[in-house]
Amino acid sequence: MQDKLIELETKFSFQEDLLQQLNEVVIRQQRQLDEMSRDMRVLKDQLGEVAADDSKPGAAEQQNERPPHY
């Protein structure tokens, strides 16, 4: 009986350690997801600004205008 109790305590200890490691992985991945979401939001805002600038009158003419060195 004592051997079984020791075996169960040992397994529990290993499971506890594994659970802690998995928790740390989940926390790290959530931080990465949060950072990527912020980056995507910034890129989306920048893309919206570029699209708004392109829709202004004369924007197409400015894009097709030759640089001064030609």
pTM beyond 0.75: no
Residue 50 corresponds to which tokens in the numbers above? 């570029």
Q: What is the per-residue pLDDT for 62?
A: 65
Q: Are 59 and 53 in contact (CB under 8 A)?
A: yes
The CA distance from 61 to 33, in Å, is 40
Tell me the mean pLDDT per 10 residues along the chain, length 70.
95 98 98 98 95 74 70
